[in-house]
């Protein structure tokens, strides 16, 4: 059986890629997808640790993370559409109307 630390290391790598993506990308939708990447990395470590301790609670946590991710997708994409209507762009650097 694959040791659980392999899964955790993989999850850390995936989380790091998500962080780097949020920092370097400017398209708001890609930033949003990088957040999904981080959520999934955490989900993976939840499931791996649930297997390690022999308890289903970690999988329940993943279920609720998925619910919140779905809600976040709906609201986040609505915000991006409304940003596009007002700024004619989805670049995060164009969302600067509060910057006097």
Partner 1 sequence: MTALFFLVALVLLISAVGVVASRNAIHSALFLVGNLMSVAVMFAMLNAHFLAVVQVIVYAGAIMVLVLFVLMLLNIKLENQPALGKLVIGLAGLGGLAFLWMMVPLLQRSFAAIPQSAVDVQGSVREVGKLLYTQYVFPFEAASLLIMAAVVGAVMLAKRRYRA
What is the rounded distance in angstroms from the CA atom of residue 26 to the CA atom of residue 49?
34
Closer Cβ to partner 1, 36 or 98, answer by number:
36
Q: Decide: is 62 part of the binding site for partner 1 (CB under 8 A).
A: yes
Q: Which residues between 17 and 36 bind partner 1 (CB under 8 A)?
A: 17-21, 23-27, 29-30, 32-34, 36
Q: How far apart are CA 7 and CA 46, in angstroms?
A: 10
Contacts with partner 1 in 40-59 (CB under 8 A)?
Answer: 40, 43-44, 47-57, 59
Compute CA distances 36 → 42, 67, 75, whole Å.
10, 12, 14
Q: How far is the CB of 100 from partner 1 (least distance, A)?
A: 21
């Amino acid at each position: 059986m694959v040791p659980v630390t392999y899964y955790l290391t993989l999850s850390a790598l995936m989380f790091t890629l998500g962080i780097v993506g949020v920092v370097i990308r400017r398209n708001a939708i890609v930033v949003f997808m990088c957040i999904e990447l981080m959520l999934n990395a955490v989900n993976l470590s939840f499931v791996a640790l649930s297997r390690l301790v022999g308890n289903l609670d970690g999988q329940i946590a993943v279920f609720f993370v998925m619910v919140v991710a779905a809600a976040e997708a709906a609201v986040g994409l609505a915000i991006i559409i409304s940003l596009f209507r007002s700024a004619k762009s989805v670049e995060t650097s164009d969302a600067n109307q509060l910057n006097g």
